Amino acid sequence: MMAKIALHKIHRERIWSFAVVGLLAVGLVTWMIIPSISASLQAGLSSYSNNVSTYMFVYDTGRDHFSYRFPLEVSDKITSIPGVQKVFPIIDNITQFIDNSTVFTLANGTRIGAKGMIIGYQSAVIGGQGGFPQSLITLSAGKLPENEAGFVFNGVASTDFALNVTRTALLPVSTFNQEAKSSSYVDPQTSNEYIRINATAMGQMPYNPMLQQIMVLWSSSFLQQKLGATDYNHTFGGEGANFFIVKAQNIQQVEQIAGKLQSIFANYSGYSVIYDQAVVKSELSFQSGSSLLYLAIGVTCMFAVISIIFIITYVFISRRSWETGLLLSQGWNWRRITNLYISYYLTLGLVAIAISVPSSLLAASRFSLSFQAYDNTLTIPMVINPYLIASGTAICLLISALAAYFAIHRMRKMGLDNLLREF
Amino acid sequence: MITLESVAKSFGSVEVLTNLSLNLESSMSHCIIGRSGCGKSTLLKMMALIAKPDKGKITINGTDVTLLNEQECEKFRNQTISYSFQEPLLIPYMTSLENITEVLGIDKDMAIRELSRLGLSKRLDHLPSKLSVGEKKRVDIARAILKGSSILIADEPLSNLDPASSLMVMELLRAHANNGGSVIYSAVEPTDGKFADNIVNL
C-alpha cells in the first residue's frame, strides 16, 4: 500500500519528483565524479612519477669509453640494491649522420647553412642482449624497423630527423678505437674505421627527457648484416654493457639507489649516475603536499552531498505538512506516515541512483584527464572507484531516510492542529 | 455521549471559547450554529482530538480525552471519530476514489457506491485540481462517512453546496445517526439546523 501511494505521488507530482530526483542525482554524480577526478589525478601523477621519474642512467658522460664493457657481475650488483626493480644493461655506441642542411644563426642574427656537417648520436640496437629494451619504446609515429635500413629516433621530428627521409649514417667498425684516438680527430667521412650506409628514420618516440641519452635505435638484424658478426659484436653486440638504465620501484627510493650506484661506479672515471634530481624532489614534494588537498576535496564533497540530500528531503517533506495532518485526522498513525515518506524518498533515491551511476560511469569512460608534459600529452584515465558507487548509494538512501525521519519528528512536535493550519 | 465541562481555548490573546459546557447525546444529530469566528471549528476540532483545550475536560463515550497521550489520542481518534473539514482537504496526487480507498484502506466498490450517492460517479478518476469546491467537499464528506466511526464530526458540511447537494449530504448524515452513530456538524445559517435533532447555539 505504501509503495503504491508513493508511486502515485511520484507519478502525479512529476515536476516535484523530477526536481528531487534531479537534485539527488546531481549530488550523487558530484560525489562520484569529484573524488574520482582527485583520485585519478593523484594516481595518475603517482603512476607518472613512478613510471617515468624512477629511471636512472649510468654511463660515461665523457663519451670516451664506447668500447669499454662492464662484466655481467656489475649488472648483478646493481640488481641487488634494495628498491631496484629492473636493470637494463645496454651496449651504447655512436652513430654519426652527415647533415647537409644544418643552419646556424650567428650572434648578429645572420643565418648560415652548412653542408656535410657530421653530428653524432648515442645509439643502440632494439631489444635482445645489450639492446635498448623494447618495453621502453613507445612510438608516437612510424614503426619499428624489421631487418630494414632504418632506425627509430627519440626526439622531435622538426629538429632531429624527418620521418621516412633517407640519410647517410656512419657506423664505427672494429678497427676504430675512439678511446685511443680521443685526442686526435678522425674524419669519419674518409676514415676506413667507419662504414657508410643509407638509412631511413622509420619511427619516432615521443620526446622523453628521461630517455634522451640514447637518441638512435637500430634494427639489430640489419646492423649485424651490415657490419658483420665481428664488427657488430665489437660495437653494438657481444657480452657486457657500457650503459645501464636502472629502474627504481618507486620515486621515494630514487635518491637512495642513486647514492648506491655512485659508490659502485666510483672507481670508473667518467661514469656518472644521471637522474633528474629536481623533478624527483618536486614530484615527491608535490605528492606529499597534494595528498592533504585531495583528502580535503573528498571530505568537502562528502559533506556537501550529504547536506544537499538532507536539505532537499527535509524541505520537500516539510513544504506540505498539512498532508500529514490530513492523514493523521483520517486515522493514520505516525508509523504509517513515516513508512509512506521513507518509501517515497527511497524510491526517488533509487531512481536517482539508477540515473547517476550510469551517467557517472559514462562520463568517466568518455572523459580522461590530460596535460602536457615535456611535449608529451600525459593521459590519465578517470576511473570511478566502486567504493564511491557503494558509498554514494548508501549515503543517498540513508540520508534521505534520516532526513525524512527528522522532518516527521519536527511535524510530530508541531501537533495535529498546527499541521492542518498549514493548508 | 460527548460531554464538555468548563472548556476554554484561546489563540494568543484572543479567547475563542470560554467556560463552555455541553452534553451531546449519542445516536443523534447535533448542529452547532454560530456566526463566523465564534469558535465552531475550534470546538469541533477539540471534540475530534485535533486540538486540545487550554482548560476544562472533554469526555467522549466515558473517556476523558484531555488526559490521553499522543499515541492514545491517535488510537482513540482512529477508532471513534470521523472528521470532515470546513475547507475540503484532499491529497492532491490522488483521484477522488483514491482519496477514499487509499487513505482509509477500504474496498473500492464501497467507495464508488458512496461517491455515486453524492452525485460524483463521473468524477471518480478526477484529481482534486479538476474538481469544484462543492465536489471536493462531497468527496471529503464521503470519506468521513466511509471511515465508519461512531462519531461523525463535519465542519460546515453544507457550505459551498447547492440545495440538491446539501440535501444529499444531509440525507447521508442523517442515515449515519439513524444507524446508531452520532453526527455533530456546524453551520452559519440557522436554517441549516433543520436537519438536526439538537441545535446548539454558540
Q: What tens digit of pLDDT does each residue of A145-192 get?
A: 988 889 998 876 556 678 888 888 988 886 555 554 555 666 777 777
The domain tally of chain B equals 1
A15 and A86 housed in the same domain: no
- Look at residue A157 in the predicted model and tell me its pLDDT: 54
A232 and A154 housed in the same domain: yes
Q: Select the more confidently predicted residue: A387 or A375.
A: A387
Contact A329/B147, CB-based, under 8 Å? Answer: no
pLDDT in tens, chain B (202 residues): 899 999 999 988 888 899 999 999 998 999 999 998 889 999 999 999 999 999 999 999 999 999 999 889 989 999 999 999 988 899 999 999 999 999 999 989 999 999 998 889 999 999 999 999 889 999 999 999 999 899 999 999 998 888 888 888 898 888 888 888 999 999 998 888 888 999 999 8
Beta bridge partners of B4: B22, B58
- Look at residue A268 in the predicted model and tell me its pLDDT: 84
Identify from B72, B77, B95, B101 which residue to disrupt to test chain A contact, counting A C-beta atoms within 10 A and taking the largest count: B77
Establish if B89 belongs to a structural domain: yes
Beta carbons of A208 and A245 less than 8 angstroms apart: no
Establish if B63 belongs to a structural domain: no
**How far B89 CA sits from the closest chain A CA (Å)?**
7
Establish if B20 belongs to a structural domain: no
Cell of A67: 668500447
A256 and A340 housed in the same domain: no
pLDDT digits (tens, 9 = 90+) for A92-146: 888 888 876 666 777 788 877 777 778 888 899 998 888 998 888 888 889 999 8
Establish if B62 belongs to a structural domain: no
pLDDT digits (tens, 9 = 90+) for A217-233: 999 999 999 888 888 88
**How many angstroms separate the CA atoms of B154 and B48, rounded?**
10
A108 and A230 housed in the same domain: yes
A72 and A186 housed in the same domain: no
CATH number at residue A271: 3.30.70
- Look at residue A331 in the predicted model and tell me its pLDDT: 87
Residue numbers of the domain that contains B170 = 25-39+68-201
- Look at residue A180 in the predicted model and tell me its pLDDT: 46
Identify from A7, A17, A326 which residue to disrupt to test chain B contact, counting B C-beta atoms within 10 A and taking the largest count: A326
**CA closest to B52 among chain A residues:** A417
What's the average model confidence in pLDDT over A23-38?
87
**CA closest to A324 among chain B residues:** B91
CATH number at residue B195: 3.40.50.300
Establish if B9 belongs to a structural domain: no
Residue numbers of the domain that contains A246 = 54-90+241-275
- Would you say residue A55 has pLDDT above 80? yes
A6 and A132 housed in the same domain: no
- Would you say residue A293 has pLDDT above 90? no
Contact B98/A8, CB-based, under 8 Å? Answer: yes
Establish if B51 belongs to a structural domain: no
- Look at residue A112 in the predicted model and tell me its pLDDT: 76
Which of A12, A330, A333 is the closest to B127 by Cβ? A12
Beta carbons of A214 and A236 less than 8 angstroms apart: no
- Look at residue A182 in the predicted model and tell me its pLDDT: 52
B51 lies within 8 A of chain A by CB: yes
CB pairs A-B closer than 8 Å: 63
Count other Cβ atoms within 10 Å, centred on residue B52. 16
The domain tally of chain A equals 3
Establish if B139 belongs to a structural domain: yes
Cell of A231: 664488427
Count other Cβ atoms within 10 Å, centred on residue A367. 12
State chain A's mean pLDDT as an integer: 84
Residues of A in contact with B92 (CB under 8 A): 12-13
Percent of chain A with pLDDT over 70: 89
Q: Which of A212, A239, A266 is the last residue of a domain?
A: A239
A303 and A349 housed in the same domain: yes
Establish if B6 belongs to a structural domain: no
B107 lies within 8 A of chain A by CB: no
Which of A12, A13, A416 is the closest to B50 by Cβ? A416
